[in-house]
Amino acid sequence: MGKKIIGILGSPLTEGNTAQLFERALKGAEDAGCDVEKIVVVNLDFQACQEMMFCREHETCGIDDDMQAMYQKIRETDGLIIATPVMTMGIPGKLKSFIDRFQVFFMAKYMRKKSLITEEKKKNRRGLFICISGMNVPEVFIGAKLTINAFLDIIDCRYSDELLINDMDRIRDIQTQPDLLETAYKKGYELGKSLSS
Ligand SMILES: Cc1cc2nc3c(=O)[nH]c(=O)nc-3n(C[C@H](O)[C@H](O)[C@H](O)COP(=O)(O)O)c2cc1C
């Protein structure tokens, strides 16, 4: 059986520019022999974290919604591909709420000192981050990168590669940039290969 890669799409547009880069990266991972599964965050039904602190003592969240199934998926995956546009110098609100609900993993790792990820899994878990922005300013990816780095740390997954594309409001259609789509494919492929080696 191939290694497992979960793709997380943060854009509300499931056929937008981010989504097209995401699909190419997932195809690359699949061609590298991985089993790929997509999570489209906008299609999930869940609440933002309510600070119930149920996860202080339990390996899950006290809110019974679509996030419950996400915890097991993220525990089991070998790799992640996260793709999102920049919104208000950070990431889209629903993706941020999705990540906040991983407080379950934070509590386990940093409070109870018992990560939910097995030692064996931890060794080679890695993630590719794909992010696009409308503007072309130097600091545009800082907020998004900080959040994704924190998320990957919480779930014991190394931030191993990134594809950051700015100036999308000028470029408009990613199909006019086949080299960038090819780069997304290659990065997905390399991630897939690196998990098997
Ligand atoms: C609500 C909202 C906020 C945005 N905020 C920013 C921003 O702060 N900086 C930036 O560079 N682009 C910003 N953008 C532009 C998007 O990053 C850009 O349009 C991107 O190409 C959208 O990708 P998508 O079509 O794949 O979702 C924003 C777009 C929206 C809809």
Domains, in order of start, for the chain: 4-196 (3.40.50.360)
Return mean pLDDT, the chain.
97
Mean per-residue pLDDT for 74-85?
98
Phi/psi at 61 (5° precision) = -100, 150
Distance between CA atoms of 154 and 116, rounded to whole angstroms? 10
Residues with CB under 6 A from ligand 1: 11, 13, 16-19, 85-89, 132-135, 140, 168-169
Q: What is the pLDDT of residues 17-68, one digit of tens each?
A: 999 999 999 999 999 999 999 999 999 999 999 999 999 999 999 999 999 9
Measured in residues, the chain has a length of: 197
Question: Which pLDDT belongs to residue 196?
Answer: 86
Q: How far is the CA of 86 from the centre of ligand 1 (A)?
A: 5
With vertex at residue 145, the alpha carbon angle to CA 3 and CA 149, rounded to the nearest 5 degrees, is: 50
Mean per-residue pLDDT for 139-154?
98
With vertex at residue 50, the alpha carbon angle to CA 46 and CA 53, rounded to the nearest 5 degrees, is: 115
Pocket test for ligand 1, best of 164, 168, 170 (most atoms within 8 A of CB): 168
Distance between CA atoms of 78 and 7, rounded to whole angstroms? 11
The protein residue whose alpha carbon is closest to atom 15 in ligand 1 is 134
Q: What residues contact residue 126 under an 8 Å CB cut-off, 6+ apart?
A: 79, 80, 157, 158, 159, 160, 161, 191, 194, 195
Look at residue 1 and tell me whether its pLDDT is greater than 80: no
Q: What is the pLDDT of residues 7-16, one digit of tens each?
A: 999 999 999 9
Pocket test for ligand 1, best of 20, 41, 84, 88 (most atoms within 8 A of CB): 88
